[in-house]
Structure 1
């Protein structure tokens, strides 16, 4: 079982990925972790990656696909969740051309206005890293850390202008994957489903887990 979660920043991919890992034993294959592991293990691919990263180059899609394929082979028969790849239409097409089959593509759909509210409402206590949200997990005293009483801050990437820029990049780069995987599903090459993720996380999790009855049995 190989699964990809699609969704904009703030859609809840991280939360739902953790559900699949903890409840169903999915292996979480994150591109950042793959790159770090390859470099750490000094595999032939890792040596190439290390040289590129050291010189400030972006890791090309062909190499990322080779790393993903290597990690999937290491996972054997265990279910896997791809995180952060594919991110663009070119990557998705290259993944298909490489013969790497995805069993399920899940789109976490959330209106843009809700995404902006979710992201702009986050607050952090910088010394400890404790996170809050003004709507979903508010501190006991507004704008104050529950433990120390010190001020909470908004992270630089959570101001509204930055959020809108991130959403524009998502629209341009990742939204085309939705139509691509819908077409793949029509051709019987994968399964595609859109979940209404503008609801409590536990409700989204229940819908997500229902997609994998064999794993939950």
Structure 2
């Protein structure tokens, strides 16, 4: 049995050429509220929400050799290889049947970004960037108590460091292209969503 890394070499998966795929990358430090806001965008605008972290955790739960490798990397606060995450994302996108996607917590670094565009031939519509002070994110993560292996103080601080060093350059790259929509994520959930609604106004609201 090959791993996901092996299988991507043989998986010539692509989207129909006549179908316009809209992708929004959702970035922000751990605890910045990405998941909460993504749920509201899905409810109101009909996007499919794909969390890179959730897909990786599902792979871990599957008990595969690949899942064990992913688990060990997450515990160390390291970033999983781009081809692993992209293969999981692309599979989920195709299976959804939708053409509008929020990809949450990805790309985690420049390698992820370049590989995603190269493999999928899709450039994001824009980057939704939740900007939140580290102290606020730390408080949120420690209080949410979801029983996740990466919700202890040492791993949280490793994740902050990785985000700043690896993910902020991705935000900078897209900022130069005029594709970053920055949101003050330290505000209340409803205040943040008021700003998000303005950003998503070009997309049709979901029919009631």
Distance 2:174 2:189 in 1: 24
Aligned to 2:135: 113
Query: How many residues end up aligned between the 2 structures?
Result: 172
Aligned to 1:152: none
Residue deviations 1:129-148 (CA, integer Å, cap 9, x gap) = 6x9xxxxxxxxxxxxxxxxx
Worse-matched range after superposition: 166-175 or 25-34: 25-34
Residue deviations 1:115-162 (CA, integer Å, cap 9, x gap) = 233334x164xxxx6x9xxxxxxxxxxxxxxxxxxxxxxx98343x54
Aligned to 1:53: 67
Distance 1:63 1:116 in 2: 28
- What secondary structure does 2:204 align onto? helix
Structure 1 residue 216 corresponds to structure 2 residue 182: no
Structure 1 residue 179 corresponds to structure 2 residue 164: no
Distance 2:172 2:106 in 1: 16
Q: Which runs of 5 or more residues in structure 2 are unaligned?
A: 1-21, 74-79
Distance 2:164 2:138 in 1: 14
The answer to whether the 8 A contact 1:195-1:207 is kept is yes
Higher relative contact order (CA 8 A, sep 6+): 2
The answer to whether the 8 A contact 1:181-1:192 is kept is yes
Out of 24, 32, 38, the residue aligned to residue 11 of structure 1 is 32
Q: Which has the larger radius of gyration?
A: 1
Q: CA RMSD in A?
A: 3.2
Displacement of 1:208 in angstroms is 0.8
The answer to whether the 8 A contact 2:132-2:184 is kept is yes
TM-score (structure 2 length as normaliser)? 0.68
Distance 2:150 2:107 in 1: 26
Structure 1 residue 199 corresponds to structure 2 residue 193: no
Distance 1:216 1:6 in 2: 22
Going from structure 1 to structure 2, the CA distance change for 1:216 and 1:65 (only over 3 Å counts) comes to same
- What secondary structure does 1:157 align onto? coil
Displacement of 1:5 in angstroms is 1.0
TM-score (structure 1 length as normaliser)? 0.65
Q: Which runs of 5 or more residues in structure 1 are unaligned?
A: 41-48, 132-154
- What secondary structure does 2:197 align onto? helix
